[in-house]
Amino acid sequence: MPHPPRYVSRLLLLAMGVFSFASGAGTPPPRPWGPDAFLPVTEARIAALPAAEQPAWRAYWQASTSHTRPATKPTDPVENRDKPLVNHAPIPAVYSTRLKLNAPAAWYASAEARSLADNIALWQRPSGGWTKGGVYTRPPQSDDDHHDDWSSGTFDNDSTIYELRFLTLVITAGNAEPQAAAWRASFLRGLDYIFAAQYPNGGFPQIYPLVGGYHDAITFNDDAMVHILELLQDIADRNSGYAFVPADRAAIASERRARGVACVLATQLRGSDGRRTVWGQQHDALTLKPCAARNFEPASECSSESAGLVEFLLTIPHPSPEIIAAIDGAMAWFPTRAHRGVAWNRQATTGSGLVERSGAPDLWARFYEFDTGLPIFGERDRTIHYVVTELSGERRLGYGWYNSRAAALPARYAKWKTQLAK
């Protein structure tokens, strides 16, 4: 099927204002994804890189493939294209058991917290990371507990990062030897897992060792890479109790965090005028171009994850000119995509799904089309829609198609600009 003409220009969209968004008028028909929505890292693709880049990538590939790979590839119910579409409540996501990271400090010295830390160490995978869905109220009872599909270890849904931060809180809560020695060893194995997982260009896959598919993409989705870089920064600065990390590991964490920031800057998109804009939800590991992920997550300009990246960049002390330019570029983009005076009615089945609401915070679609700036919405059959109410009930109800995350950025940006000028 040919790509429909993109006859609605960005200028026209801005001129039409909120009325067009609220009415759903003037939008193109649905269209399919392109054939190369995402590409995994492969030996053949590495061999096509410039000669100077190949040694580092070959070493990375060999290290990844040296691990025992899972028997089956990771899947989600919503990725299954052969399953018929249904109109019912969303399919629940798989999360690791939520770990308390904001409890009173004394609680982390409790028997309950220490028992959780013991079990976290037992659930750690041979790679050094953690899988999704760990039940840390008990030890793993068999290898089936590790969910073969995700058994390599992952950063998805805060996995691995939550475990490492929880271990740190328990380690620093008080003397509990010899348990603390085991917790420290587990933490350092997890830190080494982060070092091993990082691509030569500074990005991070969703799963390591690599398993193929969109999981190999540089993953900004749900702030996965941001949370890794925040942890590396805390370790490098010995913040929040990370003084127990050996100096050599802290130095590596500092270098890896800098490498990650460089990747963030390198992946930032640019408009037709060459100006910096925002980021995709995930980017190809080798080309750094934005790419698709799950069947309903097309390659796009992504508002929520871009807001998270700006939030992170605003925390970097003594920002370089490149970081300043990245922040300025993104902050100029957000107002051009904002939907003002409206709110999203998730239950709506007709129209745009947006309703007028005075005083509502600015609203953004999660995904915007590259050339037109139009909001886009993905279905499980890999079709892209321009009206959210065209989606099946399962997808419409089961995903955050609109968000107000960037609404808090202008105040932080203004404060940052003031401090920068001092």
Q: Which of 114, 276, 294, 366 is catalytic?
A: 294
Chain centroid to CA 26? 32
Q: Report whether 296 contacts 33 (CB < 8 A).
A: no
Could you tell me where the DSSP H helices lie in 108-160?
A: 111-123
Chain centroid to CA 162? 14
Gyration radius (Cα) of the chain, Å: 22
- Return the exposure string of 141-153: e unless at least 16 CB atoms fall within 10 Å of the residue's CB, then b: eeeebbbebbbbb
Is 270 in the active site?
Answer: no
CA distances 233 to 58, 171, 254, Å, are: 28, 19, 6
Tokens, residue 35: 């054939």
Is 294 in the active site?
Answer: yes
What sign does the dihedral 387-388-391-392 (CA atoms) show? negative
Q: Which of 31, 114, 157, 257 is catalytic?
A: 157
Q: Report whether 33 contacts 369 (CB < 8 A).
A: no
Catalytic residues: 157, 294
